[in-house]
Amino acid sequence: MDFAALFNDVYLARFAILKGLGVTIAISALSIVLGTLLGVGVGLVLTYGPKPARWLARGYTDFIRGTPVLVLVFASYYVLGVVGVDLPPFDAGVLALTVFCGSHVGEIVRGALQAIAAGQTEAAKAIGLTFSQTFAYVLWPQALRQMLPAWVNTAVEMVKASTLLSIIGVGELLLRVQELISRTFLSLEFYLFAGLLYFAVNFAIERLGRAIERRVALPT
Amino acid sequence: MGYTLNFAAVWRSFDLLLDGLGLSLALAFGGVLIGCAIGIFVAFNLTVKSRMRRGPAQTYVTIIRNTPILVLILFVYFGLPQLGVSLSKTTSFVLTLAVYSGAYLAEVFRAGLAAVPPGLREAGLAIGLRESQIRMSVILPLMLRNALPSLGSTFISLFKDTSLAAAIAIPELTFEARKINVETFRVVETWIVTSLLYVATCSVLAALIRVAERRIAIPR
């Protein structure tokens, strides 16, 4: 291992690396935010939707959750191009990750809503709340707490999945690092370095999630 | 749109896809088998009081869970040869998958261990079993039965991760699909068939796991 050379090369390539890290964070943030919005919608349909809509949502989540992310990334990049929607790699990748994230968040939302004791809804009915009031004041706040840990996990998974976009040529962190490796041949050092950067991002997310969990925990 | 679906090219190479699927399954089985051994070992270490043993186990789980598997795969395959550890494609992938799954399975088994009532250990001590005997013949079987549902879903998710073996040119399902794409340009059809193959395999695996769960459920 030649760490002196690594530091030197990292310093020389600091702008490329930072740019890659920026793209990684942009991909992850976009797909987490859009995927969560999609997922909340899907989760609500899965729990409260009319039968046909529920089947549709179930089909979507089961199909996407049964397909590897890499296949989704390839499909969204190549298939959409063939049928006339020519997305650049970044957009196609974010689309694939969003669809993936949405299916996972959908299941998380459904699970969280169904885990709330039926007595809560009955009590809300008894004091005369409408369904939308029950949802907004009774069910949703409890569901949010319930799904926070799983959601943070999904966020970490999305950052990890963003590496797959390097395969369709999105200039995120891993692709930048691979470019550096093909110039310097320091594969061991640079992959270690990339792993450390990803670890730092994900560890920060995990810690942040724990801190929020503690803040919003119900006093017992 | 003006695109007509034509599956003929895909059916002609369908046995290639099936070969790829077989290899994907083999990779997943191999990885998870070793991963289970790692996971059980780490899980026992996670539950002991001694900080000397819990610390390294916790660190392993945290680091691996927060690092993208693609980075790990590339690190092992391209990085380790610099240290003189040259593994074949398949060996390095199965090993990486084992180390990666070990971290997730450790958490699964830790939860399984926590669900074994402490009274059973005490009962074992009372009838004169040694600590190691209690572990092997009392706690381990119960823990495995507790852990089976999560073990199953972890296995399915690892099966999907075998698609990343395409990144180091192992001829599994995703790799074969890309090859067919390059040769026939039937992109839409290939990805439809490929993702359906993944979804179908995942459903079959899920069904098998449900059967196994019923068969070995702890009678109450």
With contacts defined as CB-CB under 8 Å, which chain A residues touch B74?
174, 178, 187, 191
Question: Which residues from chain B sit within 8 angstroms of residue A195, using beta carbons?
Answer: 67-68, 71-72, 75
pLDDT on residue A217? 85
Cβ of B75 and A192 within 8 Å?
yes
At residue B87, the 3 state secondary structure works out as coil
Give B13's pLDDT tier (boundaries 50, 70, 90): confident
Is residue A186 pLDDT above 90, yes or no?
A: no
Can you tell me the distance from the alpha carbon of B17 to that of B66, in angstroms, rounded to the nearest whole number?
32
Q: What is the DSSP letter of B217?
A: P
Residue-wise pLDDT for A7-49, tens only, equals 888 888 889 999 999 999 999 999 999 999 999 999 999 999 9
Q: Shortest Cα distance from A66 to chain B (angstroms)?
A: 4
- Residues A62, B80: C-beta atoms closer than 8 Å: no
A189 pLDDT above the threshold of 80:
yes
**What is the per-residue pLDDT for A81?**
82
- Mean residue pLDDT across chain B: 91
pLDDT for the residue A82 = 81
ipTM (interface pTM): 0.87
Q: Distance from B139 to chain A by nearest Cα, in Å?
A: 28
Nearest 5°: CA angle at B26, between B217 and A194?
A: 100
Q: Which two tokens stand for residue A106?
A: 């959908």
Contacts of A66 in chain B (CB under 8 A): 160, 195, 198-200, 202-203
Q: Which of A141, A183, A136, A147 is nearest to A6 (CA)?
A: A183
pLDDT, one tens digit per residue, over B55-104 is 999 999 999 999 999 999 999 999 998 888 888 999 999 999 999 999 99
Residue percentage of chain B with pLDDT more than 90: 67
HSE (side-chain half, CA atoms, 13 Å) at A134: 16
B177 contacts A71? CB cut-off 8 A: yes
Confidence at residue A88, expressed as pLDDT on a 0 to 100 scale: 93
Residue B147 has pLDDT above 80, yes or no: yes
pLDDT in tens, A73-124: 999 998 888 878 889 999 999 999 999 999 999 999 999 999 998 999 999 9
CA dist., res. B18 & res. B14, Å (int)? 6
- Digit-coded pLDDT (tens) for B177-213: 999 988 888 888 899 999 999 999 999 999 999 999 8
Q: State the pLDDT at residue A130.
A: 94
List of chain A residues whose C-beta atoms are within 8 Å of the C-beta of residue B163: 68-71
Judge whether A75 is closer than 8 Å to chain B, CB to CB: yes
State the pLDDT confidence band at B1, using cuts at 50, 70 and 90: low
**Nearest-CA distance A63 → chain B (Å):** 6
Reported residue count of chain B is 220
